[in-house]
Structure 1
Amino acid sequence: MSHDRSLATPAFPDDDGSLDPVLAAAFDEFDSAGDPTAVLGALCTVRVIVPVIALLGETPTEGDKDADMAAVFMTGADGRKALLAFSSLDAMHAWDPRARPVPIFAHDAARAALDEDAGALLIDLGGAHFTVVETEDLGHLAAGHRLVQSAAGAAWVTS
């Protein structure tokens, strides 16, 4: 009997976890102009890294600890929940060297945040380029819309 099994092709086969050049340029533009539009626009097309950490379970088995892996959500003082994501492995490891990386498109991370009733996506928490994507921007990013510059300013467009 023959079983034709295959694994899905990785979305990021050559990814070494470095900061995406498109996002790096957007961070530079933000640093010089103070306008987050470039960063939001870059997030429409780039990969981010969602950290996954081990949570010890309640029923250890003989010789082993029971652990579950979970994405990291934070809850603000106002009660709002946010999903953590990082622009690179270095940024994630600066936050927690034990976290495991899950590379994912930023729009998929935004969708995951909304699926878990979070109101924000936090990029590079504690880093030099800490970015919060929330409210309407989070919804547009999750929907796969693109942020473009026009004569009237930045605008979200559908594909």
Structure 2
Amino acid sequence: MTHGPKHLPAHISALLDRQQRSPDGQPADSAGTPWSGRDLSGEGNPLHTFDGDDGLIAAALGEARRRLLAGDTDEPGFVNALAGQRVFAPVIATGHGDAEQGDKEADISLVTLTASDGRSAMPVFTSVEELTAWHPQARPVAAEAERVMLAALAEGAQLVVLDPGSPILTFVVRGPAVEALARGRRWTPSYQDQELAQALAELPDMCPGVTGLRLSPGQGIMSAAADGSAVIGGGAGPELSIGVVVEPGTDAVGVRLALAAVQAAIEDIDLLRERADSVQVIRAADQS
């Protein structure tokens, strides 16, 4: 049996656009041999073909990770350091055996995961070693972070998980940050977003018993390095904490009503849905 030519999805083709090309313009290895129709499951067929690429973590990204682990930079500092850096997206090659041709015609698909909260996530890696340790059958496609984030969005991923299972650090890049990187923009987290704070400033006037709101990082931004040390950033939990300040003397029922009023009011804030990955509404800490 023979098979017609395979056509890669556009977002995977976009990743491969940075790769070497054969004379007829097809994605190819460094010798110019097309990937199409080849068995990609064996050794000698890595897709990380940046000129002189050693497959190690990019120097600037490695330094940003070191600074994050040392507490010398914060979550947006690390996320924005991804811009322009070469990372690796894992692809799985499958194919139909052809006895007459003696090879395989390969289909290529990106790998996606389901996060613990049910959201779709795409794994991305800083080095070939991290990727192959996580999934020995996967093959690395090297591309700038912007291209990889675009591919993640095209796959419907709501999160990007950087180096899952890493012996150093696993870091979750949440949806708004993925979109900002994909568009070539700097990412400002919702808890530092002054425009968002302004959009929420009028809510207390619409919520009985509420005198103010305090925005702060949610507990869910925290993650842990492999040695157990706390890392400010990279967690998958609530990103933004909205602390509700209630009128003095408000009883427990009044507090619950005030929190419910704020929760209902924020559902109508389009900018909040755009800028914040996940939100928790709580009573302001100094009133509890």
Q: TM-score, normalised by structure 1?
A: 0.76
Q: 1:81 to 1:56 in 2, by over 3 A?
A: farther
Alignment correspondent of 1:129? 169
Alignment correspondent of 2:52? 14
What SS does structure 2 have at the residue aligned with 1:28? helix
Identity of counterpart residues, as a percentage?
34
**The one of 73, 98, 122 aligned to 2:112:** 73
| Distance in 1 (alpha carbons) for counterparts of 2:126 and 2:171 | 10
Alignment correspondent of 2:140? 101
Unaligned runs of 5+ in 2: 1-22, 31-48, 195-288
**The one of 74, 81, 86 aligned to 1:47:** 86
Q: CA deviation at 1:93?
A: 1.5
What SS does structure 1 have at the residue aligned with 2:117? coil
Q: Is 1:111 equivalent to 2:150 in the alignment?
A: yes
| Distance in 2 (alpha carbons) for counterparts of 1:88 and 1:64 | 29
| CA contact 2:177–2:187 (8 Å) conserved in 1 | no
What SS does structure 1 have at the residue aligned with 2:51? coil
RMSD across aligned positions (CA): 2.9
Superimposed CA distance per residue, residues 121-150 of structure 1 (whole angstroms, 9 cap, x where no aligned partner): 1110011221111121111011111358xx
Q: TM-score, normalised by structure 2?
A: 0.44
Greater strand fraction, Structure 1 or Structure 2: 1
Q: Is 1:90 equivalent to 2:129 in the alignment?
A: yes
Unaligned runs of 5+ in 1: none
| CA contact 1:44–1:147 (8 Å) conserved in 2 | no
| Distance in 1 (alpha carbons) for counterparts of 2:64 and 2:193 | 14
User: How many equivalent residue pairs?
Assistant: 145
| CA contact 1:53–1:69 (8 Å) conserved in 2 | yes
Q: CA deviation at 1:37?
A: 2.4
Alignment correspondent of 1:23? 61
The answer to which structure, 1 or 2, has the higher relative contact order (CA under 8 A, 6+ apart) is 1
| Distance in 2 (alpha carbons) for counterparts of 1:81 and 1:50 | 15
Larger radius of gyration: 2
Q: CA deviation at 1:108?
A: 1.0
Q: CA deviation at 1:69?
A: 2.3
Moved over 4 A (4+): 5-8, 60-67
| Distance in 2 (alpha carbons) for counterparts of 1:41 and 1:137 | 9
| Distance in 2 (alpha carbons) for counterparts of 1:154 and 1:94 | 37
| Distance in 2 (alpha carbons) for counterparts of 1:6 and 1:32 | 48
